[in-house]
Amino acid sequence: MLNFIKTVLEENVSEQEKYSQFIEVAEKEIEAEELAEVIKYIKEKQSIIIDLPNSLDICGTWWSGLPRINTSTLTAIQLAKQWIKVTKHGNNASSGRFGSFDLIETLWYKIPETPTEILEQYNTKNLVFLHAKKLYPFFKEFSQIRKKYEKPTIFNIIGPLLSPVNSDFQMIWCSFEDKMKLMIETCRILWRKNVMVLRWEDWLDEVTLTWETKVLELRDKKIKEYSMNPRDYWFEKCSEEEIMAEKIEDKIRIAKKIIAWVCETKHKDLVDINTKIALNFINN
């Protein structure tokens, strides 16, 4: 994996050759030690690294494939309203989907592109959005072949580990149960301080209201595993249909209502439980 990335970033490789090599490594199993080396190498190549020690970094692997609202993005916005310093990094979706930065660009938020803009947004709004395509040269080299491949790969795991912000706390929403341990072990090798990797029991990369959520948590170099139930946080369970959002216009409409504190559907509870768990994570 590391040799492939070095070849692409350091040599003049054609798109055809790049894609051929990409297929070989895209779904190859990787150990935490190797993934940590990949992360270290890429971060050395990134043009922007900023220390924001008191912040909470939020990101997801995405690719659950379920028609849901952009929960992690809305959670970040709600946390910032409660004076929590938050960084949210991610990307636009591919293949006609609607990702976190598709929503952000639809709303009124300016996405920063320089360290000065990042710090200004962070200090004035308690929240900064970090767009992978604009801030990480690494992703530009692989964006087209990832779109062409049209399936989740190890790059979905790499993304959340590459935030240009060094934070004390990180919450990673993970769609892939078999990659949760890989991600948390990699964070431990990288000396990340406090990390929580979460996944619903059936694909969803967020805390859910429909069933239990699996959690791997890293604190003081120690990892613990547990599950969370909505009732643990005084929320009632609901059906999947109650928190679905099939159409893009529905996602936008619901998001605007949640931000304006006027949403009356279970979508509000979905964002609220994720927000509450984030607050509990950073305050304990």
Most confident segment among 84-93, 175-184, 266-275? 266-275
Share of the chain above pLDDT 70, in %: 92
Which pLDDT tens digit goes with each residue over 96-148?
467 777 888 888 667 888 888 889 989 999 999 888 777 776 777 777 777 78
In terms of C-beta density within 10 A (0-12 exposed, 13-18 middle, 19 or more buried), how is residue 283 classed?
exposed
Mean pLDDT on 49-67 = 80
Mean pLDDT on 14-30 = 83
Q: What is the pLDDT of residue 204?
A: 60
Backbone angles phi, psi at 79, to 5 degrees: -65, -40
Q: What is the pLDDT of residue 21?
A: 85
Domains of the chain: 49-136+163-283 (3.40.1030.10)
Q: What is the pLDDT of residue 260?
A: 94
Which pLDDT tens digit goes with each residue over 156-167?
888 889 888 889
Backbone angles phi, psi at 246, to 5 degrees: -75, -50
Q: What is the pLDDT of residue 110?
A: 76
SS3 letters across 113-141: CCHHHHHHHHHHHCEEEEEHHHHCHHHHC
Which pLDDT tens digit goes with each residue over 73-103?
899 999 999 999 999 987 766 544 677 778 8
Note the pTM of the prediction, 2 decimals: 0.89
Rounded to an integer, what distance in angstroms lies between the CA atom of residue 122 and that of residue 112? 10
Single-letter amino acid code for the residue at 93:
A
Helix (H) or strand (E) holding 56: strand 56-60
Rounded to an integer, what distance in angstroms lies between the CA atom of residue 221 and that of residue 120? 32
Q: What is the pLDDT of residue 43?
A: 85
Summary mean pLDDT of the chain: 86
Share of the chain above pLDDT 90, in %: 43
